[in-house]
Chain A
Amino acid sequence: MNESENQLSLASVRARLQSAGGREYWRNLEELASTPAFQDLVEREFPRQAIGWAEDEDGVEGRRNFLKLMGASLALAGLTACTRQPTEHIMPYVRQPEELIPGRPLFYATATTLNGVAQGVLAESHEGRPTKIEGNPEHPSTLGACDIFSQASVLELYDPDRAQAVTFQGEIRGWNNFIGALLEMLAGQKTKNGAGIRILTETVTSPTLADQIRAIQKLYPAAKWHQWEPAGPHSARAAALQTFGQPVNTYYNLEHANVVVSLDSDFLASGAGSLRYARQFSKRRRVTESGAPMNRLYVVEPMPTPTGAKADHRLPLRAGDIEEFAWAVAVNLHVGAGPRQSDNGDINRWSGSVADDLLHNKGASLVIAGECQPPIVHALAHVINDFLGNVGKTVFYTDPIEANPVDQVASLQDLAKDLDSGAVDLLLVLGGNPVFNAPVELGMRDRIQKATLRAHLSQYENETSAVCQWLLPETHYLETWGDARAFDGTVTIQQPLIQPLYGGRSACQILQTLTGSPDASPYQIVKGYWGAQHKGADFEAWWRRAVHDGVVESTALPTKTWSIHGEAISEKLRRKKMAGKMEVIFRPDPTIYDGRFSNSGWLQELPKPITKLTWDNAAIISPGDAHRLGVESGSMLELTYQGRKLRAPVWVQPGHVDQAVTLHLGYGRTRAGRAGTGVGFNPYGLRTASALWQDLGMEVHKISGSYAFASTQMDHVLDAGRHIIHKGDIADYRKNPASVHEGAEAPPRALTMYPEFPYPGYAWGMAIDLNSCTGCSACVIACQAENNIAVVGKDQVRRGRAMHWIRIDTYYNGQPNDPAIYNQPVPCMQCEDAPCELVCPVQATTHSAEGLNDMVYNRCVGTRYCSNNCPYKVRRFNFYLYSDYETPSLKLLHNPDVTVRSRGVMEKCTYCVQRINSAKIDAEKQNRKVADGEIQTACQATCPTEAIIFGNINDPNSRVSKMKAEERNYALLAELNTRPRTTYLATLRNPNPEFEG
């Protein structure tokens, strides 16, 4: 604007004001403002339009400028109006909660339970929302690691399909209606001593819950408590009675075991203490300079498991033949009487060598019987361990951790009998899903309906809820107080992080109603119980400490030794005849377990270890049987066992034993929710109380039809030209460490056109020790939870569009009937010379100053060229809008530090850049460098075997630098000269040199 003109106008206004002397007042500013001069001034001072086009200006000039401006504005408006921003209201804290800094997560110790047994965890809370589960380093069973079920439990909390209201025959009621009905029923039971009351729970280790049930039984002496856990340690319980004459809890210490024999036990990846065992086992796999002896693992099992994949010697045996193997070892050790020769040549070849190896390592060996093996195998394992002097060194016995270790099959059969006789007036089913997972011949669907009043406390409206009148929404463990024991008896007080989302109640609250105080809060109940238990004055301090630590001090049960019963292994080997039939093997599913997790999208979509199947179970058979039956993966079979039939698709699994079919339980749910209903087929339909885990005598027929599986890996064969897995034997490695890299080549560093990036500050890198990795896949779920990775569903997985940023590749080497199995976790390699960076046309993936391949989601237009050019294929593309922006409860789940990706955008592993930046900000505030180990990527934090190490490779003393300096270190596809920041450490096996097999 013309300066002089402006001044002139100002001057004229002042002049006018001055000249208006005398009585010509201007009464107020409005009056003054009404003068044209003032308005003109205002117009010029605060122009309404960017360019003046008032009448007094040159008309043409103004119009043209206006049109130009209009055009530009419209064009810009067109550009910016592509996304409509929704109206959102944000609210400040009026009173800030103590300890809470917005944007910084808080961690609370609590515990997840599986089969009643606790895994101590830390739950991450963002402004009151639990978003992620980490292991509790102070808890004996997790040691900071975490399994897939705990990781996925946070999704379960926000599952929109959870039971959300108390319902009576499908109609919504209030809690008071239920309590009224219950009290009415109880009033009637008073006179009968509660003879009509039945409480059916899953396995209970919770001291509080057990105390409540005892109190109920005191009040109603004739009331009965039943327990049923479809995948519980039924055989171990029976074996303890058989061996020691009383219930005994067994756990192991693998740190001192030089030789481990697994009798169909997947101790590295499933079971109560598996995280701890995996940690201890991997410690003995590390090859340090000192040359500590590496342990040796023998595994006999029907279906390959992560434990079998790690074995130095693996023998595929039918589940029923493992008893024979155990006998053979016992006979060779002269602790059992039996035939020295077996019909099975493999067992003959193996048992002697295994027995010798065990004898050479007396007191430093371990025989582990699988939870699915019959009691006699457990008894033999107890006897052998006792004979070898392992008790107190590698094997420990304590009193049972369960509150009431009963024979659960008998317990359920007892309940069924009572239901038939009409003796049950009130049936409280606290958790579980017996209609779905009880032995088939019990017909629980019909029997349960014989109870007069049936109430089901459950997180989901499931098959059992459908036959109960009352469905009571159960709280998630992150919503309520509770307690549970770990594998060694250690108690954890579970504390809630969030108010119950749907007004649910816990089992404790329901039981408290029976003893007369329906309004007691779970906090009062749990704290009240421990207050009564506590001896000493400072209860409040003790309580706070117990809740804070996630471990109640000195509650681990003391180890004891029991003498072995004389008749422990008096029962003789029973060889069953095949008669042209096959063995049926039931196992809990590796990801959805007994079916309880079937509505968890994360677990459904997690590729199952070894098979890499998602969203399905299958009739898993060996390549030999597939050939014999003339079927391939995807063909249909009709399975007939004891007159019951089941149609199931075939999955051909290399390494599976011949003449047996493995069926994973938990699928075929009819009322699970939107993720779990109608997925897979239901092997519970064949499972009877007499053969919970395996039996001979299944007939198998090929039928017409085919089935489309969604497996994330089609090719598993390691070909000789590609050095993907570097591997070797420990003996050769000791002689010549370079032998593990034989045949692989790595080009010189100088072979690149581009100048090296300088990294003056940090240079992040990762090392993955294949020798430690068991392929348990916990890292995959941890990554999914941390990085808001979407679930895409079976159809999309089948189309090759699973979104996991880290995957576990499984390779087979050798004969299909018994291959060596190798697992390899593959996150982004963060290459120095990254092929992806070069080809992105819009610079959406670029090299960071610390060596990361940053992915700029906002900039990505989705050419997918980067993925084509990525030799590791770690990039994932949002073909559709996979992220759920709509479901309200799932919004709470997201990690606020990570962008939720939209349609059409590429995504990939970032080494958890949000964690890196958070640690760097902390360090900068304190004017220091980020310390080694301060940043843990999500996969690293959860890894039970510490196979994944992340850190600053500029620091030669960091753990990752030391690992990369090891001889075993190699880069995947090094010959491409991408120079990955993620490198691998070769895997080693420790075969028995005297082994004939």
Chain B
Amino acid sequence: MADEPNVHQPKTDIAPGYTFGTVTDQIASVVLTRRTPFFWYAAFGAGLVLLLLFLLAVGVLFVKGTGIWGLRTPVMWGFAITNFVWWIGIGHAGTLISAILLLLNQRWRNSINRFAEAMTLFAVACAGMFPVLHLGRPWLAYWLFPYPNTMGVQPNFRSPLVWDVFAVSTYATVSLMFWFVGLMPDLATLRDRTHNRLARFAYGILAMGWRGSARHWSVYETATLLLAGLATPLVLSVHTVVSFDFTIAIVPGWHTTFLPPYFVAGAIYSGFAMVLALAIPLRSIYGLQGLITDRHLDNSAKVMLATGLIVAYAYILETFSAWYGGNTYEQAMVWHRMTGPYAVSYWSLMLCNILAPQALWFKRVRSKPVFLFISAIVVLVGMWLERYVIIVSSLAQDFLPSSWSIFQATRWDWATYIGTIGLFLFLFFLFIRLLPMISIFEVRTLLPSAKVEEEAES
């Protein structure tokens, strides 16, 4: 496919009229010269406030214990694990965009991969906290790592939670490296353009001596390709391993083989929704419609539609296999989800994840950023509900009716969840302010003038 890069691509991936200089100017000016818009202050401020709420919630959690959440005997996992799976899933779109689309030579990705990768990192940061926060004794979280110790005890490698530790930490490391390596040429650009000595110093340190020599570029290309190769299986493996937390258990509603692909599809689904939810306001605030074009939004919406259909198929399959399998507990579980105490959550997730996204079949909807933004938010809510329903409703009513009871979230559950959204916003807008949100040098390769040179070279 790399042989015919232009078959499925229109002539340009970005709006016409850009030159190398204007691309660099426009992207770098967001960081260096332009007045910070009010929107940034509002969004960053909101993030900061919610982050403080998060710190309060975590402070209370550490002082008092997990009892502040609505957890109870059959439902030992609630919001924390729901949030963990949700955030990890959101991260997936970034990796997909930066790694898989790179390998597939989908060059339109160049103008959205930077902030998508940043989104991945911050989503993983949010996700990564929950496994620690939800522990009864979080100060002993390091016991999940296989480190040499005088107790002579190692983690239980049969437990999916230990696999999680490796999957998530690998994912976080590779994502960080990928993002940082990709940033280096742009950091050098900022270093060279800034007039602020402190900024020049900081960008200079971070650029690690990038001068843009041919040798640098050659090493850079190899490194990117290798990291993309590393990251690609992670897109599939991380959420597969996360889904093992459920499939390995014997809880009806968890113990199914189709959960891994279903989780991966769901992850990309929610990830692209988040990309849209971030890209649409950003491009209009910063006037980047020329770089993040309607085509980008259209493509993202198509990915959402496709993964959304996979997810819809999974829901149908789940119901079918429960019926066809003839297992009392599975059947009761599906029945309880549909009619029981979590019916509202279940049907709203169906509405959000299956019904609402069908609008994306229509070009008219896909071409209206406002509609896309709304449907992205709807999908994000739907995917959160999906994880909530899978985790909580399966646990609430499992084998022995005597133990059944209903999880009810407390305000601390909500504070922790909304707090991580704050952390995410805080980090993301810090990134917008301090680093180029669109990859300058990669967008420059999209320009027609770059193509000519490339062809001339070869």
Contacts and interface: CB of A to CB of B under 8 A. Distances in A.
A941 to B, nearest CB: 25
A801 B72 contact: yes
B288 interface: no
Nearest to B246: A868
Given A864-B71, A904-B137, A871 B328 contact: no
Nearest to B154: A843
A861 B140 contact: yes
Contact of A796 (B64, B67, B135, B140): B67
A800 B402 contact: no
Interface stretch (A369-377, A615-623, A634-642, A716-724): A716-724
B363 interface: no
B186 interface: no
B120 interface: no
A811 B402 contact: yes
A722 B328 contact: yes
Interface in B370-406: 395, 398-406
A808 to B, nearest CB: 9
A799 B144 CA distance: 29
Interface string B58-84: 000000111100111111110000000
Given A873-B73, A903-B65, A716 B401 contact: yes
B369 interface: no
Contact of B71 (A724, A861, A879, A972): A879
A802 to B, nearest CB: 8
B332 interface: yes
Contacts of A355: none
Interface stretch (B90-98, B157-165, B202-210): B157-165
Interface in B241-290: 245, 248-251
Given A800-B405, A904-B135, A868 B77 contact: yes
B70 A861 contact: no
Contact of B250 (A713, A835, A840): A835
Contacts, number: 164
Interface in A830-850: 835, 838-843
A873 B401 contact: no
Contacts of B398: 871, 873
Nearest to A978: B250
Nearest to B131: A863
B399 A973 contact: yes
Interface in B167-208: none
Interface string A697-740: 00000000000000001111111011010000000000000000
Interface string B335-372: 00000000000000000000000000000000000000
A122 B137 CA distance: 39
Nearest to A839: B159
Contact of A864 (B76, B138, B331, B405): B76
Contacts of B2: none
Nearest to A808: B402
Nearest to B165: A841
A715 B249 contact: no
Given A838-B248, A868-B76, A801 B67 contact: yes
B452 interface: no
Contact of A973 (B144, B153, B400): B400
A903 B402 contact: no
Interface in A908-925: none
A704 B426 CA distance: 47
A863 B161 contact: yes
B317 interface: no
B158 A838 contact: yes
B73 A861 contact: no
Contact of B72 (A799, A859, A903, A905): A799
A841 B332 CA distance: 30
A718 B139 CA distance: 43
A721 B65 CA distance: 38
A727 B409 CA distance: 39
B159 A864 contact: no
A717 B328 CA distance: 15
A863 B134 contact: yes
Contacts of A864: 71, 76-77, 134, 136
A721 B143 CA distance: 41
B399 A976 contact: yes
A876 interface: yes
B73 A801 contact: yes
A859 B136 contact: no
Interface string A804-820: 00010111000000000
Contact of B136 (A861, A871, A873): A861
A868 B138 CA distance: 19
Given A862-B136, A903-B136, A976-B250, A717 B401 contact: yes
Contacts of B156: 838, 840-843
A860 interface: yes
A759 B152 CA distance: 24
A826 B404 CA distance: 14
A839 B137 contact: no
A225 interface: no
B137 A869 contact: no
A146 interface: no
Contacts of B65: 878-881, 903-904
Best-surrounded residue of A800, A826, A859, A869 (most CB of chain B within 10 A): A800
A770 interface: no
A868 B395 contact: yes
A721 B400 contact: no
A722 B401 contact: yes
B141 interface: yes
Nearest to B328: A721
Nearest to B331: A721
A867 interface: yes
Contacts of A881: 65
Contact of B137 (A719, A809, A905, A973): A905
A807 B402 CA distance: 10
A904 B331 CA distance: 34
Interface in A789-805: 796, 799-802
Nearest to A973: B399
Nearest to B143: A842
Given A800-B73, A840-B156, A842-B156, A872 B136 contact: no
A529 interface: no
A976 B144 CA distance: 28
Nearest to B75: A800
B74 A904 contact: no
Nearest to A800: B72
A861 B135 contact: yes
A689 B332 CA distance: 52
Interface string B399-417: 1111111100000000000
Interface in A751-810: 796, 799-802, 807, 809-810
B74 A862 contact: no
Contacts of B140: 861
Contacts of A871: 250, 398-400
B142 to A, nearest CB: 9
B401 A906 contact: no
Contacts of B144: 841-842, 861
Nearest to A811: B402
A826 B332 contact: no
A799 B70 contact: yes
B155 interface: yes
A714 B136 contact: no
Contacts of A840: 156, 159
A877 B76 contact: yes
Given A843-B154, A876-B73, A877-B73, 15 more contacts: A826-B400, A839-B249, A841-B156, A841-B161, A842-B156, A862-B137, A865-B159, A865-B249, A871-B398, A880-B64, A880-B65, A881-B65, A904-B137, A906-B136, A973-B399
14 contacts: A714-B406, A715-B402, A722-B329, A722-B401, A811-B402, A842-B156, A843-B153, A843-B154, A859-B153, A863-B134, A868-B77, A872-B399, A903-B65, A905-B136
Closest 3 interchain pairs by CB?
A862-B136, A904-B136, A800-B72
